[in-house]
């Protein structure tokens, strides 16, 4: 199904161009869509070319050495770079020293050991040496543990009972449960 549209050749334009939409009075929807697709793809090509030129310019600027701050001599820039390198070496040496002094804390903290105060590292190390690390994990799906003398201690946990023992428990519970068990709903 094609639809004919009437277009005004001078509507929305300042003069005439070579666009086919402006030259003809009637066009199908497909012709109009093809025109706009072609026009927008041309804009996309121009945009992509401009983007590529800007990326090339950015890469060229990144490749250039950064200029020194205003008023800074090349010697001062070299001194600043050497000071930064020296600070990195000092930090690495301090971290290695702390790792040797506090091995448990180093295992827990890793490279972040240099960020904590020695008092906190000593406290972490003391916890590790005492063995009182993390609290024991209790499985939420395990049967409840009962202390000696507590009621219900003589029963087996539900997950350890056989089918016959479970059915016997159901029969003791209520007559409605017995009827459901006979019908095979359990």
Q: Would you say residue 6 lies in a domain?
A: no
Crossing angle between the packed helical segments 74-101 and 118-130, to the nearest 10 degrees = 30
Asked if residue 116 and residue 87 are part of one domain, the reply reads: yes
Asked if residue 102 and residue 59 are part of one domain, the reply reads: no
Name which of 166, 149, 148 is nearest 157 in CA terms.
166
Q: What's the mean per-residue pLDDT of the chain? A: 77
Structural domain count of the chain: 2
| Alpha carbons 54 and 19: distance in angstroms, whole number | 30
Asked if residue 32 and residue 61 are part of one domain, the reply reads: yes
Asked if residue 83 and residue 44 are part of one domain, the reply reads: no
Q: Would you say residue 58 lies in a domain?
A: yes
Instruction: Tell me the pTM.
Output: 0.33
Cβ atoms of 124 and 108 within 8 Å: the answer is yes
Mean pLDDT of 137-164: 73
Most confident of 138-142, 164-168, 171-175: 164-168
Asked if residue 125 and residue 80 are part of one domain, the reply reads: yes
Asked if residue 85 and residue 60 are part of one domain, the reply reads: no
Q: Would you say residue 171 lies in a domain?
A: no
Q: Would you say residue 1 lies in a domain?
A: no
Last residue of a domain, one of 44, 65, 86: 65
Sequence-ordered list of residues with C-beta below 8 angstroms from that of 116, at least 6 positions apart, any chain: 105, 109, 124
Q: What is the pLDDT at residue 164?
A: 92
Q: What is the pLDDT at residue 64?
A: 79
Q: Percent of the chain beyond pLDDT 70?
A: 73
Last residue of a domain, one of 14, 41, 65: 65
Q: Would you say residue 156 lies in a domain?
A: no
Query: From start to end of 102-185, where are the E strands?
Result: none
Confidence of residue 134 (pLDDT cuts 50, 70, 90): low
Q: Would you say residue 107 lies in a domain?
A: yes
Q: What is the pLDDT at residue 69?
A: 67
Confidence of residue 15 (pLDDT cuts 50, 70, 90): very low
Q: What is the pLDDT at residue 6?
A: 53
Last residue of a domain, one of 42, 65, 88: 65
Structural domain that includes position 42: 22-65
Q: What is the pLDDT at residue 57?
A: 92
Asked if residue 123 and residue 81 are part of one domain, the reply reads: yes
């Amino acid at each position: 199904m094609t639809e004919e549209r009437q277009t005004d050749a001078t509507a929305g334009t300042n003069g005439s161009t070579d666009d086919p939409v402006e030259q003809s009075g009637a066009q199908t929807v497909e012709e109009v869509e093809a025109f706009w697709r072609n026009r927008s793809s041309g804009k996309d090509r121009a945009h992509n070319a401009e983007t590529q030129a800007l990326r090339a310019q950015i890469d060229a600027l990144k490749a250039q050495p950064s200029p020194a701050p205003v008023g800074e001599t090349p010697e001062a820039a070299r001194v600043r770079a050497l000071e930064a390198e020296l600070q990195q070496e000092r930090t690495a040496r301090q971290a290695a020293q702390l790792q040797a002094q506090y091995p448990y804390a180093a295992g827990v903290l890793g490279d972040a050991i240099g960020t904590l105060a020695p008092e906190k590292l000593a406290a972490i190390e003391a916890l590790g040496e005492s063995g009182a690390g993390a609290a024991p994990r209790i499985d939420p799906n395990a049967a409840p543990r009962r202390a000696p003398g507590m009621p219900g201690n003589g029963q087996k946990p539900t997950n350890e009972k056989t089918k016959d023992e479970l059915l016997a428990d159901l029969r003791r519970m209520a007559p409605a449960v017995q009827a459901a068990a006979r019908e095979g709903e359990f």
